Amino acid sequence: MPKNLLILLLLLSPFFINAQTVTWRTDINDAVAVSAEKRMPLLIFFTGQGVSPQLQNEIFSTQDFEEWSRKNVILVKLDLSDPSIPDATKEQNLMLKNALGIEEIPQVCFSEVTVRKGKTNFNKLGLIAYVSSGVKAWISESNSILNPE
């Protein structure tokens, strides 16, 4: 019996490994702290109720995106229509959206963050939306924003 269980676990382990998902932070302050600690830029995904799910379904839910994001960015998802977040957080998220020049959602903004003397500064690197040519094209465009020549 233990031998059969071991064989079953070995056969199923690749499925468990591939079942990992990306971790999105929903608190910008938490994300800023992690960004500073890991010295990685933020990928801030601005979204809301009723927006097209293509970006999430065709880009963010892929294995390629998961692997790329782990190595390159701290993921932040700010749902501007989430009724469960406090009003102060909503206001903070809207102010960040406006400061970064986000006009339409869903939209992704890449930003470096510095904290000096208790003040957080965002350096916008670039914006990217849904790219219909697939995850590899989206990642390529993202890499050109993060690593300009």
Q: Which domains does the chain have, with CATH numbers?
A: 21-146 (3.40.30.10)
CA of residue 56 relative to chain centroid, distance:
10
Euclidean distance between CA atoms 53 and 59, whole angstroms: 10
Euclidean distance between CA atoms 46 and 105, whole angstroms: 6
Question: Which one-letter amino acid corresponds to residue 111?
Answer: S
- Per residue of the chain (149 residues), what is the pLDDT tens digit? 555 544 544 445 444 444 458 899 999 999 999 999 999 999 999 999 999 999 999 999 999 999 999 999 999 999 999 999 999 999 999 999 999 999 999 999 999 999 889 899 999 999 998 878 899 999 999 999 999 87
Q: What is the DSSP letter of 84?
A: T
Q: In residues, how long is the chain?
A: 149
pTM of the predicted structure, to 2 decimals = 0.84
